[in-house]
Amino acid sequence: MRIEQHPVLEFRRGKKIKFTFDGKEYVGYEGETIAAALHAAGIRVMRESPVLHRPRGLFCAIGNCSSCLMTVNGEPNVRICVEKLRPGMVVESQKGKGVVYAAGN
Amino acid sequence: MNRHEVIIIGGGVTGCSIAYHLAARGMKDVAVLERAYLTSGATGRCGAGFRHQWGTKTNCLLAKHAIARLERLAEELDYPGGVEIKQGGYLILAYTPKMEEQFKKNLALQRSLGIDARWVTPREAREIVPFLNTEGLLGATFCAKDGHANPFKVTDAYARAARRLGVKIHTYTEVQDIKIEGSLKTVITSRGTFQAPVVVNAAGGHAAEIGRMVGVDLPVVPERHQILVTEPVEQVLGPMVMSFYHNLYCQQTPHGSFIMGLGDPNEPKEYNVRSSWQFLSQMAQKVVWLLPVLKNVRVVRQWAGVYDMSPDRQPVLGEVPEVPGFYVAAGFSGHGFMIAPMTGQLMAEIILGLPTTLPVDMFSLSRFTTGELFVEPSVV
């Protein structure tokens, strides 16, 4: 869902671009955050909690709370609420604390 | 007026361990005086490592006995949840022929004392840490039984065990002066006056100040060391990686965060626990060169603490001859945490006049006047 018209805010959207999330292709607008594009695509679960593995959604949306950490282009623990979408990005939901090195790299 | 048998100044791991070991040997009328909260000094700011790989016989033995105690500390002190022991080893890197020579000497000493440490080639080092940058590396020493323990939990475990035995711990109680009349010492604090015939100075970076209160000149000076910690990630780094060449160390805690520090040879000898942007920048550059996978791992926070440096980087343990009943356990020079189980035991034995588990004569304060120093070569 996207707000198309707003009484106060004006949206200047960039051009439409493609990215993937967990292997599936999505479309978003260049310059918006990854979280905004995923939210617009109906994706609400951003992460699972580290100890009890319960779903976590978008919470602070300003890069403070760690609720939306994902692996982006292979880099773990990216705060997707403040990371801007770029063409061809490979976004993956992250289980656990993030893998910075896998044998064979 | 609070009257006790023993007053311990300093609520770090050393002070709490001494208190516990005294109480466990029957000396239960003990008070610990801490100026802020437990672990607020060097203990809670340290790199949280322990190692067998030392360059003097005394340190090797202290470490060996202390680590055996740390391994079983949770059971010994009945501390549910444990103290976060991780034994991934220490990998100590050699970059110059002189270092290689010294390290091989250290290894011979360690092995003669039953410590299972060995020389590894750069190729073997990469089997231990696959992403290690081995450029310029001549080799390294490795001991698989070295590792990590949580200094907050170790201190808490000793403090709780000591309290159960009757020890009184007073936090936010800053020692302001000490008066001596006969054998009785009166300790004036920000929260009242305490008296005891025995006072133990375990004040870390403040040990020299405490010494001055009784007219004792302790050659122990504070020296700032800085540390940072990253966000947690899945386990990838087994050992503590240590380089005396780069003056740095880096390990991954059981929680997954990387904790790392850098020594600065030009650091002024003064009490300073502020952190600096220069450290953050230098630390990041050096560690990413050595362990490139850290380049995308985010720093969570940085801080500083002080080593209590002695002239030969060895602690002062024992009674001050000129002031009977005044004992010192300070000057640990950056490795007080890891030997704290033995410091506590030895100090309790010394104070109670029991035979000591390990020889302690070389730790006496008088070595600085007689010149019998025994310099520890392996300190970052």
> Which residues, 6 or more positions from B125, have their beta carbon under 8 angstroms from its beta carbon?
B91, B93, B132, B134, B137, B139, B140, B142
CA B322 vs CA A44, B177, B209, B215, B326: distances in Å: 72, 18, 17, 9, 9
Interface test mutation site (partner A, options B126, B128, B231, max chain A beta carbons within 10 A): B231
Average pLDDT score over residue span B129-154? 98
A16-93 folds as: Ubiquitin-like (UB roll) (3.10.20)
Q: Which of B231, B236, B256 sits opposite A101 (nearest CB)?
A: B236
Whether A101 sits inside 8 A of B293 (CB atoms) is yes
Nearest to B16 by CA among B148, B135, B168, B141: B168
pLDDT of residue B377: 79
Q: Are B252 and B230 in contact (CB under 8 A)?
A: no
Q: Least CB-CB distance to B293: which of A77, A96, A100?
A: A100
Indicate the residue of A75, A77, A100 with minimum beta-carbon distance to B236: A100
Q: Do A100 and B297 touch (CB under 8 A)?
A: yes
How much is the average pLDDT of B162-180? 98
Exposed/middle/buried for B63, CB within 10 Å: 0-12, 13-18, 19+? buried
Residue of B nearest to A98 (CA): B233
Percent residues over pLDDT 70 in chain A: 97
pLDDT tens profile B64-93: 999 999 999 999 999 999 999 999 999 999
- The distance of B232 to chain A (nearest Cα, Å) reads 6
ipTM of the complex: 0.85
Residues of B engaging A, defined by a Cβ cutoff of 8 Å: 130-131, 231-234, 236, 256, 293-294, 296-298
Q: With bands split at pLDDT 50, 70 and 90, how would you rate the model's confidence at B373?
A: confident
Judging contacts by C-beta atoms under 8 Å, the chain B residues touching residue A103 are 130
- Rounded average pLDDT over B340-350: 98
Burial class (CB in 10 A: 0-12, 13-18, 19+), B136: exposed
**Cβ–Cβ of B233/A103 closer than 8 Å?**
no
- Mean pLDDT over B217-246 rounds to 96
**What is the pLDDT at residue A50?**
84
Give the distance from residue B236's alpha carbon to the nearest chain A alpha carbon, in angstroms. Answer: 7
Q: Averaged over B299-310, what is the pLDDT?
A: 96
Residue B254 pLDDT? 96
Helix (H), strand (E), coil (C) string for chain B = CEECCEEEECCCHHHHHHHHHHHHCCCCCEEEECCCCCCCCCHHHCCCEECCCCCCHHHHHHHHHHHHHHHCHHHHCCCCCCCCCECCCEEEEECCHHHHHHHHHHHHHHHHCCCCEEEECHHHHHHHCCCCCCCCCCEEEEECCCEECCHHHHHHHHHHHHHHCCCEEECCCCEEEEEEECCEEEEEECCEEEEECEEEECCHHHHHHHHHHCCCCCCCEEEEEEEEEEEECCCCCCCEEEECCCCEEEEECCCCEEEEEECCCCCCCCCCCCCCHHHHHHHHHHHHHHCHHHHHCCEEEEEEEEEEECCCCCCEEEECCCCCCEEEEECCCCCHHHHHHHHHHHHHHHHCCCCCCCCCHHHCCCHHHHCCCCCCCCCC
Maximum Cα–Cα distance across chain A:
53
Residues 6+ apart with CB under 8 A from B68: none
Is a pLDDT exceeding 60 seen at residue B46?
A: yes
The rounded percent of chain B whose pLDDT value lies above 70 is 100
Asked if A99 lies within 8 A of B233 by C-beta distance, the reply is yes
Query: CA angle B85-B92-B317, nearest 5°?
Result: 65
Q: Average pLDDT for residues B107-119, to the nearest whole number?
A: 97
pLDDT band at A47 (very low <50, low <70, confident <90, very high): very high
Calculate the CA dihedral of residues B36, B28, B157, B347 and round it to 10 degrees. 80
Distance CA B33, CA B293 (A): 44
For residue B265, pLDDT over 90 is answered with no
Asked if pLDDT for residue A103 goes beyond 80, the answer is no
Report the pLDDT value the prediction gives residue B111, as an integer from 0 to 100: 97
pLDDT at A11: 85
| Statement: residue A43 has pLDDT above 70 | yes
CB contact under 8 A, A100 and B256: no
Q: Give the number of other Cβ atoms within 10 Å of residue B287's Cβ.
A: 25
Query: What are the residue ranges spanned by the domains of chain A?
Result: 16-93
Residues of A in contact with B131 (CB under 8 A): 101, 105
Quickly state the pLDDT bin for A4 (edges 50, 70, 90).
confident
Closest CB to B131 among A76, A97, A101: A101
DSSP A99: -
Q: Is residue B255 within 8 Å of B232, Cβ to Cβ?
A: yes
Phi, psi of B104 (to 5 degrees): -70, -35
Q: Output the pLDDT for position B372.
A: 82
Amino acid letter for position B77:
L
- The stretch A63-83 carries a mean pLDDT of 95
Work out the minimum CA distance from A49 to partner chain B, whole angstroms: 13
Contacts of B130 in chain A (CB under 8 A): 101, 103
Q: Check residue A104 and give its pLDDT.
A: 55
Q: Is pLDDT of A34 > 70?
A: yes
Query: In chain B, what are the domains?
Result: 2-46+152-220+311-370 (3.50.50.60), 86-146+221-308 (3.30.9.10)
Cross-strand bridge partners of residue B180: B185
* Pairing mode of beta strands B184-189, B175-181: antiparallel
Nearest CA-CA distance, residue A63 and chain B, Å? 13
Which residue from A99, A94, A98 is spatially nearest to A47, judged by alpha carbons?
Answer: A94
- How long, in residues, is chain B? 380
Span B300-327, mean pLDDT?
Answer: 96
CB contact under 8 A, A101 and B298: no
Average pLDDT score, chain A: 93
Q: With an 8 Å Cβ cutoff, is A51 touching chain B? A: no
- Give the pTM: 0.94
Residue of A69, A77, A100, A105 to mutate when probing chain B, most B C-beta within 10 A: A100
Query: What is the rounded average pLDDT of the residues A31-53?
Result: 94
Non-local CB neighbours of B289 within 8 Å, separated by 6+ positions: B133
Whether residue B175 has pLDDT greater than 70:
yes
